[in-house]
């Protein structure tokens, strides 16, 4: 039986699959079907030549949730909150993205103001009812929502994280008026304090539930009609997977579903190469993703923002994304400066060289013009060189440059944008990029990896043998995972250990129930504990690992020391002068799947008829002879000196002058970077 990983990107849908009996593997790459992304999933399986009935596990990373939110492409939803908090999700925290920009505007609200309702009720911070729910007003609001035909509603009352009685009461009233509505409450979505991220995350769940329910139902039906009888698992933003039914109920956990597979592949590389600290980067058709894998695992954040002041308050891999990919479009701004992205040609119409109607110059067109892409993509795809040149010429004429200057300028600007994304994830976590290696994924990743590493002074780049389908590969190496959390504020010095033990026990019960819903056997479940902690008076927390088993009074000093260490790791300092407080408790529940085998993608012998080849490539203002090799022709330990082009099945690695690469025993190209 086959374990299949599929990643649906903005331009391509990628597949990597391995046979659980003999560890044979297959790959496929097809254009993403934007009108119905589930069709691309089926097409990729068919392109790989795998029978649907031969699939045991289908691990699916999807950008459907993210795209729906960014494009505001979902049915109208409603939001009900406490009187005085109607505009919280729009006002936000009154932060400014750019301090001195008088023209900046806030993102479009997820839920229109006319569909946001305020209700007289009040729960105190200690969970006691200060003002009961106005039942008459609640019924009027529910009737209005029913009249408007709205079928998705979020409910977020102030202080509901300590007592959800009023939210549950409002939900019951709503369901009496609209029995088939998707109704979500903040106490179940995010039972943590701070109303803005809690309300926004609840609104996101409400907006996405109809979209993702339709998508997963359509995909499941289509797979069944093709003979699929295995298990469909969906990639989550926290680095794990969950069943489709759980995914329909918790769509806010899918925001980074696609990039999460890349982080999993970086963790796989850490396990197989010995490089424990890796900066994972993934360049697709529309975006560039960057994140850190440290000590073999991805870093988690709770401060993710979909857009400025649109927080998603769930545990997520700390991934920074920018609009820079193979389809990113070059343009000239009002000041006459050359810019690239974030707008992308995507898969429809795609870059000009695709011959699908695209007329604007993209990064892919620029690489083709500079000789870094083979016009036949090794006899897999025919690229229109003349169309690419015509698109670049129009841009060059606007800015007063030659064709080659404009094309190389586009590449440099795009790579600098990628480098800034790397800087964002590394520097904000107080890490030194020189202590990491950069792993480059995605069809366009290996073409730009060395330039990004040079910009960030990263000494070494890893280009895996399956870089072009890395996120799909990573999907097959992931475990089922659920994060469950609860608010609990208490000073460490006065905390009740009985309360800690009781809350952790309740969280573990809920986590096991979620895993059981995903059909994880009890003997495959692993539970880890965490706590969000801070010095008293701080407005931010750090994650601290907490021991398993019963917590006693004598364990509190151990917890304190773990907090100090975590604080030093994140911020470089710690203090014994300030008291410590718990803010929230959590568990990480994992359902362990069979671990992915260690694949060897290296060649064992020279291909017959292979010989040294070269091609003229434009680097640093001049044409130079670059070595041209097929990855299948390179043996383990062989050194390739730049300038060079290495052709893989799904990507092309570009080694600039003065950068040398060597193939390790697993088929990864290790490139030493020279500035």
**Number of Cα atoms under 13 Å in the Cβ half of residue 153:** 30
d(CA 145, CA 150): 6
Token readout for 517 is: 């819903």
> Residue 668 is encoded by which pair of tokens?
């990864």
Q: What gap in Å lies between CA 130 and CA 82, rounded to an integer? A: 12
pLDDT score recorded for residue 604: 60
Return d(Cα 662, Cα 296) in angstroms, integer: 23
pLDDT at residue number 612: 67
- CATH assignment of 2-68+214-275, given 1.10.1240.10, 3.40.50.300, 3.30.420.40, 3.40.630.30? 3.30.420.40
503 DSSP assignment: H
Residues of the chain whose pLDDT is less than 70?
347, 377-380, 602-612, 675
pLDDT value at residue 633: 80
**CB atoms < 10 A from the CB of 511, how many?**
22
- Full DSSP string of 533-557: EEETT-S--EEEEE-SS---GGGHH
CA neighbor of 560 nearest in space, from 491, 504, 501, 483: 491
Question: Distance between CA 264 and CA 270 in Å, rounded?
Answer: 10
Per the CB < 8 A criterion, the answer to whether 640 and 646 are in contact is: yes
Q: Is the dihedral of CA 129, 135, 136, 142 positive or negative?
A: positive
Report DSSP state, residue 466. Answer: T
Sign, CA torsion 419/422/428/434: negative
Task: Tell me which residue of 540, 547, 532, 551 sits closest to 490, measured CA to CA.
Answer: 532
CA 411 → CA 21, 351, 455, 618, 649, distances in Å?
A: 43, 15, 13, 12, 23
Q: What is the pLDDT of residue 499?
A: 96
Closest CA to 12 of 34, 32, 36, 40: 32
Helix (H, G, I), strand (E, B) or coil at 70: helix
| Rounded Cα distance, 152 and 162, in Å | 24
User: 3-state DSSP call for residue 84?
Assistant: coil
| Confidence (pLDDT) at 636 | 84
pLDDT digits 0-9 by tens, 328-346: 999 999 888 999 988 888 7
Bridge partners of 64, per DSSP, are: none
Instruction: Name which of 286, 301, 289, 231 is nearest 260 in CA terms.
Output: 289
Instruction: Report the distance separating Cα 392 and Cα 377, nearest Å.
Output: 20
Please give the pLDDT value at position 380: 66
Q: Characterise 309 by phi-psi region: left (phi > 0), alpha (psi -120 to 50), beta (else).
A: left
Strand-pairing partners, residue 486, are 585
Q: How many CA atoms lie within 13 A of 46 on its CB side?
A: 11
Q: Which CATH architecture has domain 480-591?
A: 2-Layer Sandwich (3.30)
Cross-strand bridge partners of residue 591: 480, 525
pTM: 0.87
Domain boundaries, the chain: 2-68+214-275, 328-414, 480-591
d(CA 351, CA 10): 13
How many angstroms separate the first and last alpha carbons of the chain? 47
Handedness of CA 53, 57, 62, 64 (dihedral sign): positive
Instruction: Return the H-helix or E-strand segment holding 281.
Output: strand 278-283
Q: What burial letters (b/e) apply to 251-279, b meaning 16+ CB within 10 Å?
A: bbbbbbbbbbbbbbbbbbbbebbebeebb
| Token pair of 449 as six digits | 């990896």
In this structure, the number of other CB atoms found within 10 A of the CB of residue 152 comes to: 27
Question: What was the pLDDT predicted at 625?
Answer: 93
Yes or no: say if 591 and 520 are a contact pair by the CB < 8 Å rule.
yes
Whether the CA torsion 314, 319, 320, 324 is positive or negative: it is negative
In the three-class reduction of DSSP (H, G, I as helix; E, B as strand; rest coil), residue 228 is classed as coil
For 1-47, write each residue's pLDDT tens digit.
999 999 987 778 999 999 988 888 999 988 888 888 889 999 999 99
C-alpha pair distances (Å), 56 with each of 30, 78, 265, 518: 22, 39, 20, 14
The residues near 525 (Cβ < 8 Å, ≥ 6 apart) are: 512, 515, 589, 590, 591, 592
């Amino acid at each position: 039986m086959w374990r299949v990983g599929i990643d649906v990107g903005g331009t391509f849908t990628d597949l990597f699959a391995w046979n659980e009996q003999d560890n044979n593997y297959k790959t496929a790459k097809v254009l993403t079907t934007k009108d119905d992304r589930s069709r691309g999933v089926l097409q990729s399986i068919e392109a790989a030549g795998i029978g649907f009935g031969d699939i045991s596990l289908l691990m699916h990373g999807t950008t459907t949730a993210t795209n729906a939110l960014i494009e505001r492409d979902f049915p109208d939803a409603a939001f009900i909150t406490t009187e005085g908090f109607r505009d919280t999700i729009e006002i936000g925290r009154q932060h400014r993205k750019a301090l001195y920009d008088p023209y900046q505007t806030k993102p479009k609200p997820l839920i229109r103001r006319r569909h946001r309702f305020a209700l007289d009720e009040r729960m105190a911070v200690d969970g006691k009812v200060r003002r009961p729910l106005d039942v008459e007003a609640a019924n009027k609001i529910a009737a209005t929502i029913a009249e408007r035909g709205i079928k998705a509603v979020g409910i977020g009352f102030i202080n509901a994280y300590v007592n959800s009685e009023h939210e549950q009461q409002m939900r019951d009233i709503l369901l009496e008026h609209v029995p088939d509505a998707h109704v979500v409450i903040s106490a179940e979505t995010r039972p943590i304090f701070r109303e803005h991220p809690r309300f926004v995350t609840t609104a996101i769940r409400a907006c996405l539930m109809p979209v993702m329910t339709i998508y997963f139902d359509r995909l499941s039906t289509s797979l069944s009609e093709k003979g699929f009888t295995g298990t469909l698992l969906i990639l989550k933003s926290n680095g794990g997977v969950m069943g489709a039914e759980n995914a329909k109920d918790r769509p806010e956990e899918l925001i980074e579903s696609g990039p999460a597979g890349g982080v999993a592949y970086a963790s796989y590389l850490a396990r197989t190469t010995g490089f424990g600290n890796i900066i994972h980067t993934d360049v697709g058709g529309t975006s560039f993703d960057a994140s850190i894998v440290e000590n073999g695992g991805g870093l988690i954040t709770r401060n993710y923002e979909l857009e400025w002041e649109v927080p998603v308050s769930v545990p997520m891999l700390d991934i920074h994304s920018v609009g820079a990919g193979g389809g990113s479009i070059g343009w000239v701004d009002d000041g006459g400066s050359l810019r690239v992205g974030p707008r992308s040609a995507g898969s429809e119409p795609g870059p000009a060289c695709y011959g699908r109607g695209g007329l604007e110059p993209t990064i892919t067109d620029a690489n083709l013009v500079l000789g870094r892409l083979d016009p036949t993509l090794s006899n897999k795809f025919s690229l229109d060189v003349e169309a690419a040149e015509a698109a670049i010429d129009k841009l060059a004429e606007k800015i007063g440059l030659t064709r080659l200057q404009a094309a190389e300028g586009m590449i440099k600007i795009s790579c600098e944008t990628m480098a800034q994304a790397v800087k964002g994830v590394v520097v904000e976590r107080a890490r030194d990029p020189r202590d990491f290696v950069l792993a480059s994924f995605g069809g366009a990743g290996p073409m730009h990896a060395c330039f990004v590493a040079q910009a960030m002074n990263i000494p070494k780049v890893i280009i895996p043998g399956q870089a072009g389908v890395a996120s799909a590969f990573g999907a097959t190496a992931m475990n089922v995972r659920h994060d469950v959390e609860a608010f609990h504020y208490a000073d460490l010095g006065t905390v009740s250990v009985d309360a800690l033990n009781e809350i952790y026990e309740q969280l573990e019960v809920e986590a096991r129930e979620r895993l059981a819903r995903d059909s994880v056997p009890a003997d495959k479940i692993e539970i880890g504990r965490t706590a969000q902690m801070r010095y008293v008076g701080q407005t931010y927390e750090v994650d601290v690992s907490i021991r398993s088993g019963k917590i006693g009074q004598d364990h509190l000093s151990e917890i304190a020391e773990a907090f100090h260490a975590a604080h030093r790791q994140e911020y470089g300092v710690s203090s014994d002068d300030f008291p410590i407080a718990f803010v929230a408790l959590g568990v990480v529940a994992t359902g362990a799947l069979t671990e992915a085998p260690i694949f060897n993608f290296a060649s064992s012998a020279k291909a017959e008829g292979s010989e040294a080849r070269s091609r003229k490539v434009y680097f640093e203002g001049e044409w130079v002879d670059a070595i041209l090799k097929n990855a299948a022709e390179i043996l383990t330990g062989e050194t390739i000196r730049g300038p060079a082009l290495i052709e893989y099945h799904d990507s092309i690695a570009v080694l600039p002058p003065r950068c040398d690469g060597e193939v390790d025993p697993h088929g990864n190209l290790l490139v030493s970077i020279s500035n």
